[in-house]
Amino acid sequence: MQSSNKSLLAKNETLKKENDEVVKKANEKEKFSNLLLDKIKSINDEKIKIIQEITEKRNEIVVETENYVKEIQMKFQAELPEKQKLLEDNQKLREELEEFTKKSTNIKDEMLKQVEEKEKSNINFNNDFLNKFKTKLDKIQAEKENLHYENVKLKTELKEYSSTKEDRDRTLQKYLMEWEKFSNENENVSLFFMT
């Protein structure tokens, strides 16, 4: 009987040790699980923070892009009347130049006719009239050259305006391409953090 009690005590002691070992392992697993949960929570918090920062940056870039596009459109709209005026002034000068050329041809023909008539009636009048004729022709020529200069100047201003507009269009196209590239990279980063 005493031997049986000893055997039971030994078994009981063994079971207690095994139970203590199981409890110890269970506590270690629970501690490890808690650490793992804390790490997962920390990673999730960091992930949420990064997504918020990316979203804020993306929204900021969207607003900046929209403002830049609006600014370009406003500048273009503001310059349209000036461009239209330059075109109208150029057309007006061209018409005036053509009309002036016709008038100067008619005046020249008329003066030549008058010279011929004067030569027939009065030879002494010839020198005086030719001087007046030359003065008028010089004046006409000067006005014609002035109109031509104004026309060339307007054409140059139109060319410079077109060149500036093309530079702005290229800048806008480059900005939009960079924005699209950033958006694609941003979307890939967002997808990575959501998986």
The span from the CA of 68 to the CA of 66, in Å, is 5
pLDDT in the model for residue 186: 62
DSSP character at residue 124: T
pTM of the model: 0.33
pLDDT band of 162, cuts 50, 70, 90: low
Chosen CATH of 2-194 out of 3.30.300, 1.10.10, 3.30.70, 1.10.287 = 1.10.287
pLDDT for 44 beyond 60: yes
The span from the CA of 145 to the CA of 140, in Å, is 9
Please state the separation of Cα 165 from the chain's center in Å. 11
Say what angle helices 125-194 and 2-121 make with each other, to 10 degrees: 170
Least confident of 30-34, 82-86, 126-130: 126-130
Sign of dihedral through CA atoms 38, 43, 44, 45? Answer: positive
C-beta of residue 193 within 8 angstroms of C-beta of residue 47: yes
Average pLDDT, the chain: 77
pLDDT band of 118, cuts 50, 70, 90: low
DSSP character at residue 195: -
What mean pLDDT do residues 125-152 have? Answer: 77
Alpha helix segments (H runs only) across the chain: 2-121, 125-194
The encoded tokens of residue 45 equal 């918090």
43 vs 180, residue with greater confidence: 43
180 vs 187, residue with greater confidence: 180
pLDDT for 34 beyond 60: yes
The span from the CA of 70 to the CA of 52, in Å, is 27
C-beta of residue 151 within 8 angstroms of C-beta of residue 80: no
- Within 13 Å and on the Cβ side, how many CA atoms surround 173? 6
pLDDT in the model for residue 187: 66
pLDDT in the model for residue 161: 65
C-beta of residue 175 within 8 angstroms of C-beta of residue 64: no
Q: Which residues have C-beta within 8 Å of that of residue 97, sequence separation ≥ 6?
A: 144, 147, 148, 151
Q: Torsions phi, psi of 77, nearest 5?
A: -65, -40
